[in-house]
Amino acid sequence: MPSGSERRPFAMRLRRALVAATALGFVAAPLRVTAQISPGPLSKAHAELEGVLKCLECHGIGEAKLDARCLECHVEIEWLRAQGRGLHGADGLGECATCHQEHGGKDFEIVHWGKRGYTSFDHRRAGWELRGRHREAECRTCHREEFHESAVMTLRDGGPGRATWLGLEVACASCHADPHAGRLGSDCAKCHTEHDFRKIIDTGFDHESTRYPLRGAHREVSCAGCHESEAGWIHQPASSNCASCHADPHQGLATIAGRRADCAQCHGVDRFRPSTFTVAMHADGPYPLEGRHVSAACEACHVTTKGDGVKLRMAHARCVDCHADPHGTQLAGRSDGGDCESCHLVEGFRPSTFAVADHQTLAFPLSGSHVEADCRSCHAPDRARPNSGRELGAAGVRFRFADTECRSCHVDPHRGRFAQDGERPASDGCLSCHDHDRFSPSHVNATVHATYAFPLEGAHAAIPCFECHRELEGDRLASTLIDAGATPHLGFEIRHRDCRDCHRDPHGGQFEDRGACSSCHGLDAWGPAARFDHERDAEFSLVGAHARTACQACHAPTVHADGSTSPRYRPVSRRCEDCHGPSPPLEEGTR
């Protein structure tokens, strides 16, 4: 088999043959030689063979076949064929040019895989069918340089470092590290499949025959769970003691009756959790379980701390030794130091045992509706202060207030108008108009209204408040508590003093120059105009039949542009014929 140096004399003979062919007229011109001999540029892999003087190095002269020339250079392929190995050693493979086409250009892929590329290659043609997980692997996952262990790599021109699809062996260990370090032999298929390496084939091994028969949850553990470590496969664990496989989560602090406990005293092999340590066993310790503590999960108190395992010994003299103060130290200033047991029981944190009678001893005794109010109605976070929860604690219950004024819990629907420094100072704040029994209706009546700028007299005393104070027409307040949400504005800001500020003028402006409505009308009723005297206040004296005539007979209604009507009082003619019309003519003979 010629080496690279042995092939050089052949190249010299090739050049001489081409020169001779040119001299004999076989080649007419250099440009035509290129066109006739080379169909196109060679790929990068054969770039060193580019040029018309090198064509015969591959194609030969006469009847020499191209495959023979290929194998003179690609000795590794010739070795595979001789060994009958891989794709190139298969029977009936065909000529090299069937799969390796040249003269397609410098960047042309010299290996022809078909339209779908190398991923469509049928691996059975290589003599090794892909099964199981191997079918899912990307080709380059296996075909990479570090897995090239075949002897064919020593025959390649350029050595193992060049990219190639050759060089793999079919033994598992040629690609996969042996987790057993050779202790179980090289036939991986005895225990493993290509579908799932972790799933061990049933080889008939009976763990009952060993010194550690499998019981409980150990039956469900994979072999690797006990027999695998970073150093490899462990065939015989150190001992059958729990600590040989499991770390002690209690760091040696687990004791029963003052003696160090064995794992089996509190745990079974069926499962580690829950522990078999019972409430009755807890009664022998320093803190017997009562109330809600009986049903509490062990880990709720015996928490796992990083690096220290499960905490078994802890302070337990006060509730706050285990529980965070849910009230954010608001009650720490009490005589009992905010002891939880003053208001709560171990049977349940809610409801509190703090009753109305207890509240009567505080700065704000409960009365009226406050007695029936839910505690959280007042002792809830202040929505007006978004960060109030931080100072209140996890329970979100407010106990300390700036003062006992109504505004500490309730929104002022009057928006400060009746505050002490407001428009109408109140001697007792909100309680000047309201009481603890209910907010609505208020205590304001006609007598109280008499102290205001507009006393309620006559018919005004019987009019419902909302007739003048239109803000009362809306929905009644369900609650004025701060947490109840938005409340309507009850401003009561009426500035009217004249009748026309509230009432429509029924006379259409006929008496704008005559003064206030009270000149003719009283406060008890609008009609009749009790204060109007026709003899005194009008220019037309009612005498005779006129005194008995109805007002509307003379004062007919006037229709206005908006469709409304009003009696016409001014101006009214005083001429008889303007009201009565001309007299009818007398019949002849009656004069």
Pairing of strands 255-256, 232-233: unpaired
pLDDT at 29: 39
pLDDT at 161: 53
Count of H-run helices and E-run strands, the chain: 19, 8
Tokens 């959790």 belong to: 273
pLDDT at 255: 67
Q: What's the one-letter identity of residue 66?
A: L
pLDDT at 370: 92
Tokens 């769970």 belong to: 225
Q: Six-digit token pair at 48?
A: 């060193």
Q: Six-digit token pair at 396?
A: 């979100």
pLDDT at 557: 86
CA diameter of the chain: 173
Beta bridge partners of 111: 100
Residue whose C-alpha is closest to residue 566's, from 554, 579, 555? 555
Let me know the angle formed at the C-alpha of 514 by 512 and 519, rounded to the nearest 5 degrees. Answer: 115
Q: Are 588 and 529 in contact (CB under 8 A)?
A: no
pLDDT at 371: 92
pLDDT at 232: 61
Run of H or E residues at 259 = strand 259-260
Q: Are 323 and 394 in contact (CB under 8 A)?
A: no
Q: What's the one-letter identity of residue 477?
A: L
Distance CA 26, CA 23 (A): 8
Residue 262 carries which DSSP code?
P
- H/E/C letters for each residue in 328-391? CCCCCCCCCCCCHHHCCECCECCCCCCCHHHHCCCCCCCCCHHHHCCHHHHCCCCCCCCCHHHH
Run of H or E residues at 229 = strand 228-229
Mean pLDDT over the full length of the chain: 80
If you compute the radius of gyration of the chain from its CA atoms, what whole number of angstroms results? 56
What is the CA 340 to chain-centroid distance, rounded? Answer: 36
Is the bond preceding 413 in cis, omega lying within 30 degrees of 0?
no
Q: What is the pLDDT of residues 281-319, one digit of tens each?
A: 888 778 889 999 998 888 888 877 766 667 777 788 888
- H/E/C letters for each residue in 525-550? CCCCCCCCCHHHHCCCCCCHHHHHCC
Q: Six-digit token pair at 506?
A: 């029924």
Distance CA 20, CA 151 (A): 43
- Can you tell me whether residue 207 is helix, strand or coil? helix
Distance CA 487, CA 481 (A): 9
pLDDT at 23: 41
pLDDT at 179: 78
pLDDT at 37: 61
pLDDT at 64: 60
pLDDT at 123: 92
Q: What is the pLDDT of residues 215-235, one digit of tens each?
A: 888 888 887 778 777 666 676
The runs of H, that is alpha helices, within 90-245 are 139-142, 223-227
| Residues in the chain, pLDDT under 70 | 1-37, 62-64, 157-162, 230-233, 235-239, 255-259, 306-309, 382-390, 420-426, 477, 483-485, 496, 583-591
pLDDT at 590: 44
Distance CA 510, CA 376 (A): 62
Pairing of strands 309-310, 557-559: unpaired
